[in-house]
Amino acid sequence: MRQVWSIFTREFRSYFVSPVAYIVIVVFLLVTGWLFFSPFFLQGQASMRAFFKLLPFVFSFVVPAVTMKLFAEELNTGSYELLLTLPVDLRQVLLGKLAAGAAFVLVMLLPTIVYAVSVSFVGDLDWGPVAGGYIGALLLGTAFSAIGLLASALTRSQIVAFIVASAICFGLTILDAMLFFLPGFMLDVAHYIAAETHFGNFSKGVIDTRDILYFASVAFLALYGAYLVLAEKR
């Protein structure tokens, strides 16, 4: 656990030694704020559902941008070989880096609580779906971070890692909307693996263990894939 904590703190601090992290956070807040508040007063409802509706789409590009450097940068500079000489297990490295990515997602989400507070001033806001939405957002961000970690382990190029992770995350996000184009025998499977299906339940205030299991499974499969890739490189 000490090794995981050490890797987590190193990676998390590294985000804030360059302006990239601050740019990502500012862009995230500007995009979500504009997309949420622009139609807010036309809806006439004190609800955060519109914010949580667009969040998976924004995460599909923001989270890969956050995680693209986690392994690709080390593979490109050769510092990954140095990491292997340290008394640390590959699984600990993966957990530490995943925790750093998830923590950064949490840092991005915290300022958006201002949106909920603002909405509560203009109407009677139901805080149950809001709390459920934020729990789901953190789970979604963690799952997407694991996918970004896998993509970063596959290549030395951060741009390629970003494109691969964004494609996978965006595909999982829009899959539920593409069911119309799929044959009947694929509908149940596609509906289950669609991220929007499970995140939508959280945004309604419904916390189901099946949805938690889904995000945990996505994160586990992505981490296991990254482990296999890095073990082969090792």
Across 18-22, 102-106, 183-187, 191-195, the highest mean pLDDT is recorded for 102-106
The domain of 93 spans 2-233
CB 31 within 8 A of CB 121: no
Q: Which ranges constitute the DSSP H helices of the chain?
A: 2-15, 19-37, 40-43, 49-67, 69-77, 79-84, 90-109, 113-122, 127-154, 158-174, 187-193, 195-203, 209-233
Model confidence pTM above 0.95: no
22 backbone dihedrals φ, ψ, rounded to 5°: -65, -35
Structural domains counted in the chain: 1
Q: Phi and psi of 127, rounded to 5°?
A: -80, -10
Determine what percent of the chain is predicted with pLDDT higher than 70: 85
Cα–Cα distance for residue pair 47/178, rounded to 1 Å: 26
